[in-house]
Amino acid sequence: MQADGSAIRAFDAVKALAFIGDLSMGQPTDHSLRTAWLAGQLARAAGFDVSTCDTVREASLLRWSGCTANASGFADALGDDIAGREAMLATRPDWAEPLDAHGGPAVALTPLAQIHCEVSGEVARMLGLSGDTEAALRHIFEAWDGNGMPDRLTGGLVPPAVFVVSIAGDLEIFSRVYGLERALTLIASRADARYPAQLTAFAATHAAQWLRTLDDEQAAGIDDALLTPHMREATSPELIADVIDLKLPWMTGYSRTVATTAAACCARLTADPQTQDRVYRAGLIHGIGRAAVPNAIWNSPNSLSASAWEKVRLVPYWTSRAGRQTGALEQAAELASYAYERLDGSGYFRGTAGHALTREARVLAASIAWVALRSPRPWRDALTAGDAAQELRKEADEGRFDRDVVEALLASGPAPQTAPRYRPQAIRLSAREIDVLRSISRGASNKEAARELGLSPSTVRTHVESVFRKLECSTRAAATLKASSMGFLHEALL
């Protein structure tokens, strides 16, 4: 078993992250792909060099890669983090009304933009993309007139790729929602405010042709148009899992733990390394579809309504859909879409039963349940290992889990720790700093972390400041992402 997962193309990871971002923002699942294609056309029409055109495509695909990280903040501000952001992007009437209670859009959205930009920039860096792409993502919400977020940069201080991506995104959304004529009117109204007027002129001239061509383009042709040299390089799939888990603080490290647990169980049942790797990858990405469900549903301490439960039931469906867009992860995503099926047919979304469920699917389903039962949730406390084992065996007795798989799972012992993707030699965190980081990564405030660890709030604050300084970040979400990739968080969940 390859504990850190076999390498995949950065392009496949980027497309998975684009799919997650589109779900999170309430967009069609090809929105980021279409935006990147349009942005590439606009960049060439405007005469940008090859390097900038590559930056434009990469930044377009990863524009929403920070949106799981601030989902909790948008849920607090708008109620429904997904529908609220969809309304914001489409500039629907009164979308910002809920923000009045939080000091208005500028006050409420600036810290959320800071989280998003910092995480997106880190994602680009972890994927090995160019410094220009990282810089564009760290400023992706800045505006030509200085009224953007989070740093209020103006004109030439903003990477030019930001404006190209912004226009392309607006063109994709507005033309789909309102039609091309209205889209161009809205874009023109933002000239020399959101973006420079010269770029809007290129869009106005060519938009109709570009959209017709794009509508006729096949998926393979779009991929060919978007693939940059940096995205041909290898990366590992753990980053996808970490971005998925940022949506809910209490999920920190969950997908990695599922993956290592499932792979360890699989190793007791088969010596085939390809099967083990496929199960491992499926464990990493089984939560892709979780991005489509509002945080308020996940955080509910009560029984779900029928409509809310239907959204949850579609989580594995969206994961299956992601597989059709993610190249090397297609097989793993298809397996991951069976994560919540049960042997007696009582699972979802297919209701598959009996021999139709492969052993790999049975291993994944039982492993997810085993990890989830021992993890705290808003609606219940974590079970002890003994109580969780008893519950799994009960489920097996009642025909929902495979008994042989359950016994192999319980005999596997603690899941092996995944190897960190990287841990720069200069970064050293003390044991107490790691304790504090683990606590705040799960959503604890400084005061809550102080109570949990028996420290004073001022001591916790000092440790947080030290962690941020060492990890070179300013938000908890970015610290969580970086710390997880470096292996600082995973062992706490075994």
Cβ neighbour number for residue 398 with a 10 Å cutoff: 12
Chain segment 43-54, per-residue pLDDT in tens: 999 999 999 999
Can you tell me the distance from the alpha carbon of 63 to that of 85, in angstroms, rounded to the nearest whole number? 14
**Facing residues of 377 across strands?**
380
Can you tell me the distance from the alpha carbon of 285 to that of 308, in angstroms, rounded to the nearest whole number? 22
Chain segment 394-413, per-residue pLDDT in tens: 999 999 999 999 999 999 66
CB of 395 within 8 A of CB of 401?
Answer: yes
How, if at all, do strands 8-9 and 234-235 pair?
antiparallel
Tokens 């084992």 belong to which residue? Answer: 389
Q: Which two tokens stand for residue 266?
A: 């699989």
Domains observed in the chain: 8-231 (1.10.3210.10), 256-411 (1.10.3210.10), 431-493 (1.10.10.10)
Q: Tens-of-pLDDT digits for all 494 residues of the chain?
A: 334 447 899 999 999 999 999 999 999 999 999 999 999 999 999 999 999 999 999 999 999 999 999 999 999 999 999 999 999 999 999 999 999 999 999 999 999 999 999 999 999 999 999 999 999 999 999 999 999 999 999 999 999 999 999 999 999 999 999 999 999 999 999 999 999 999 999 999 999 999 999 999 999 999 999 999 999 999 999 999 999 999 999 999 999 999 999 999 999 999 999 999 999 999 999 999 999 999 999 999 999 999 999 999 999 999 999 988 888 899 999 999 999 999 999 999 999 999 999 999 999 999 999 999 999 999 999 999 999 999 999 999 999 999 999 999 999 665 555 555 555 556 889 999 999 999 999 999 999 999 999 999 999 999 999 999 999 999 999 999 999 988 888 654 44
Rounded to two decimals, the pTM is 0.94
Residue 163 has phi, psi (to 5 degrees) of -70, -40
In three-state form (DSSP H/G/I as H, E/B as E, the rest C), the secondary structure along 276-303 is HHHHHHHHHHCCHHHHHCCHHHHCCCCC
Q: What is the DSSP letter of 254?
A: H
